[in-house]
Amino acid sequence: MTKKRCPWLNLKNPQYVEYHDREWGRPVHDDHKHFEMITLEGAQAGLSWETVLKKRERYREVFKNFDPVKVSKFSSAKVEKLMLDPGIIRNRLKIESTITNAKAFIKIQKEFGTFDKYIWNLVGAKTINSFETLEDYPTKTPTSDKISKDLKKRGFRFVGSTIIYAYMQACGMVQDHSKDCYLGGKKLRNLS
């Protein structure tokens, strides 16, 4: 019998199914993974998540496995090189924002010890939400508004409330698997 999954999932894309089953909605507590998801969610703006997933491995290569210290040192020459790489989304503002965000990310790490402590504190250190149907899913919430505003104040770019809500879903800060999904309503743990 086939497992019932969230209605938004393209079941014909094995990479997307794997992402849904093993990552999406599972609490993240690793700073490199947080930086990866903020970067990828920002890169997704205006595109589909499937497009980003297809390019994810190349992103990991060119953005040094999402090490914010290494990314923060990228030069304008590196940006020009990345603009020519068909393996990533070649949008100058998105590429430059990744470097800017790396610098802001490091400042948060210095202030709070880890980015993880900072971000989870903004949701009371626990997973929140759970919506009944696809129609109930918001694109943003007062919490994502608050986090977006704080990140922008700290120098982040491409972190609007909708992007941040998608990031919160991806990183398990909210549990938005649908009630009829086999993962719905469960307390999920990170599998990596």
Q: Which active-site residues does the annotation give?
A: 19, 41, 49
CA 84 – CA 130 distance, rounded (Å): 41
3-state secondary structure of 176: coil
CA 160 – CA 167 distance, rounded (Å): 11
Contacts of 22 by beta carbon, 8 Å cutoff, 6+ apart: 191, 192
Spatial contact of 27 and 190, defined as CB atoms under 8 Å apart: yes
Task: Compute the C-alpha angle 54/85/66, nearest 5°.
Answer: 65
> Amino acid identity of 28?
V
Q: Which two tokens stand for residue 69?
A: 């210290």
Closest CA to 42 of 119, 106, 102, 110: 102
Tokens 């998540």 belong to residue? 49
